[in-house]
Amino acid sequence: MFVIVTYDVGEKRVHKVCKKLKQYLMWTQNSVFEGEITKGKLVKCLTELEKIMDKREDSIYVYEVQNPRNIVKRVYGQEKSFEEMFL
C-alpha cells in the first residue's frame, strides 16, 4: 500500500523519529514521509515509533491508500531533496 506519514513531535525526538521513518519510507518535505510499504512493515515501523514518541505530547498521522493508483501527487514550486533539508 501507499502511505503518507506526517509527524509533530517534541524537538528532542524529531531526529529519532525522522531517522526511524527514513528506514521505511522516503522523506518528502518538512515532517512528511511517503512511500509504498507492506502492512507488516508499517506495523513494525509504528511499533518502533511508539517506543520513541511521547504519547501525551507527540502526534503521528498515517494516511493509508491500499492501491497506489488511487492517489495522485502534484508538486507546486520546488521539489526538495533530503540532503538539502539537512545542509
Q: Tell me how far, at minimum, the Cβ of 40 lies from a copy of itself, in Å.
A: 16
Size of the site for a copy of itself (CB under 8 A): 38
Beta carbons within 10 angstroms of residue 38's beta carbon: 10
Residue 57 near residue 9, CB atoms below 8 Å? yes
Task: Say how far apart CA 82 and CA 85 lie, in whole Å.
Answer: 5
Residue 19 or 61 with smaller CB distance to a copy of itself: 61
Q: How many residues does the chain have?
A: 87
Q: Select the residue interacting with a copy of itself from 11, 12, 40, 55 (CB under 8 A).
A: 55
Which stretches of the chain bind a copy of itself, using CB under 8 A? 4, 6-8, 28-32, 46, 49-50, 53-67, 70-80
